[in-house]
Chains A and B, each alone.
Chain A
Amino acid sequence: MHVRVFELVTFALLCLLIYLGIARAKKTKPYVRPFPALEHIDEAVGRAAEMGKSVHYCTGWGGLNDEWAPVTTAALAIMGEFAKACGKYGVPMRYSCIRSHIVPIAEDIIKFGYDTGGHPEMYTPDMVYYTSEEQRALMSAMMGYIMRERPAVNCIFGATKYETIHSVGTGAIAGSMQFAGTPRLYYLPIILCTCDYALIGEEVYAAGAVVTGEPHQLGSVRGVDFFKMIIIALIAISVILSSAGTDWFQRLIEFVAG
């Protein structure tokens, strides 16, 4: 029997902090700093309404059955906000989807958005366009739609890969107002160069929690932040002590880790 003590203790500590964060958030809503990307959703969709154009949204390559499930969940929550704004201003929306299991979830989210926004009659299931599981099909579908229809707003949030470049590049040529956000860092320079508003790294998770406003989402963001502060403190202590020439802290961690 090989018990991973250090991993188990870390896992338990993280779960405890998240649980306490959720419990606290039910009483007092935690403060999350504002995100410009979320604050300009109304302005962007209003622009689309004035131009008589649509809003294009994509959550990229990630699904709900891999390690990027939290990001995709957050991206779908943000899509709900866009759907609500589209419902409010009467703007058509198109969601390009690469994962079949997301299709029914997306249909539900968009329908709810239009119902809440005030234009339930505008919703059609065609708003969710499933391109197959093939990434190249998603790229082609997005590029074709953006070049043909020239949406006023182009968004790509979530666990994205190369389709980010295709989406924001075509959007830049088409003149769309662009929103993007991904924790996958290597597309961030492209996003920062071409997008009007961006969510960087873990801002996507926090933004997803902010748009839902649900205590469990906000509380888990707080709990995760506390855990990260502990990690940062450990790193800082380790760097200072190692730079001072002593390795007892490192030996302590190695002893605990087994």
Chain B
Amino acid sequence: MAAKTELGRFPTADRVIFLVFLILISTPLVVLIGLPIPISESTRKSYELMNSLKSGDVLVMCFEMDVGAFPALGPGDMAALKHAFTMVKEKGIKVIIFGTYESGVKIYIDKILQETKEYWESLNYGVDWVNFGWIPGHETAMATFARDVHTACSVDVYGTPVDELPIMKDIKTINDVTGIWYTTYSSPDMLPRQWSPLEWPGLKWTICSTLFGTVSWLMPYVNAGSITSYVADQRGGAEYEVLIGKRGLGCKFMDAQSLGHIYGIALIIGSNVYYLYTHAKKPKRKEE
């Protein structure tokens, strides 16, 4: 599949394709189209699970993410954070935040906390919520957290030992956690392996926020009950924003996604029409 090179080393055709794509996806960010966003069943269920938290319940928000995937999963996480911090104020739930991905998760957590600052700056850090930053070990960190929270989260992001944090006083194992919001941009199967409500009786539910391509991967676990619900990619994040009544980045990206997908479909159809037309014109050759 050799590309004809013109105007230097990068083919002209690809430059035109990229330019049109860039124009199409950036226009809705300036000129809002405002297409309606139907709410999927999975996002609605995730919202209802989060909303079911009561006073004293503990919510863990674990991010197996890095900041490069922020546009995809960031809107959903920010919406969930806003929802969680609002419930801290209104209902008195507790929120524990940390990340397990070895590459850049702390930057991601810093970024989403920066974007949701108005929701947490009036809260009592260490009592209402806590941020443990990056916990090394990836899946082994998750396994350790399930069995011994204080060993996995020995110090918070500011260096405060876990024993000095009032919020962590009664949280020893994952059975003391009510629900988990787990965001991953790579492998969702670590969540059901280490933190399954079927395995840990105290854990009531888990929600997995993941990319659209990975949703099929976690469907067997959802069907089996190892994962309670999921939020799919940027679209799920936009739906969650609609549900909490705070439209943000996710909703803005949806128009761009719509135009981008229509463009992609047009390219597929166009290239196939051209291929069939040129294929039909050529004399038939024997297949090798």
Contact = CB atoms under 8 A, between A and B. Distances in A.
Physical interaction between A and B: yes
Interface of A: 61, 66-67, 133-136, 147, 161, 172-175, 185-186, 194, 196
Nearest to B213: A186
Nearest 8 A/B pairs, CB to CB:
A175-B2, A186-B213, A173-B3, A134-B103, A172-B1, A175-B3, A136-B68, A173-B14
Interface in B11-42: 11, 14
Interface in B202-235: 213-214, 216-217
Nearest to B69: A162
A62 to B, nearest CB: 10
A161 B11 contact: no
B205 to A, nearest CB: 23
Nearest to A194: B1
Contacts of A66: 138-139
A234 to B, nearest CB: 16
Contacts of B103: 133-135
B125 interface: no
Given A66-B138, A134-B104, A174-B3, 8 more contacts: A66-B139, A67-B189, A133-B103, A134-B103, A136-B68, A172-B1, A175-B2, A186-B216
Contacts of B189: 67
Q: Determine chain B's interface SS by DSSP, over half rule.
A: loop
Nearest to A65: B138
Contacts of A174: 3
A164 to B, nearest CB: 11
Interface of B: 1-3, 9-11, 14, 66, 68, 102-104, 138-139, 186-187, 189, 213-214, 216-217
A175 B1 contact: yes
B11 A173 contact: yes
B225 to A, nearest CB: 14
Nearest to A132: B103
B6 to A, nearest CB: 12
10 contacts: A66-B139, A133-B103, A135-B68, A161-B186, A173-B3, A173-B11, A173-B14, A175-B3, A185-B216, A194-B1
A172 B104 CA distance: 30
A133 B102 CA distance: 9
B191 to A, nearest CB: 13
Q: Which one of A66, A147, A173 has the highest number of Cβ atoms from chain B below 10 Å of its Cβ?
A: A173
Given A136-B68, A173-B14, A147 B213 contact: no
Nearest to A195: B1
Nearest to A178: B1
B214 A186 contact: yes
Given A136-B68, A147-B9, A186-B213, A172 B3 contact: yes
A14 B203 CA distance: 32
Contacts of A196: 1
Contacts of B1: 172, 175, 194, 196
A151 to B, nearest CB: 13
A175 B102 CA distance: 35
A101 B158 CA distance: 31
Nearest to A173: B3
Nearest to A136: B68
A135 B101 CA distance: 12
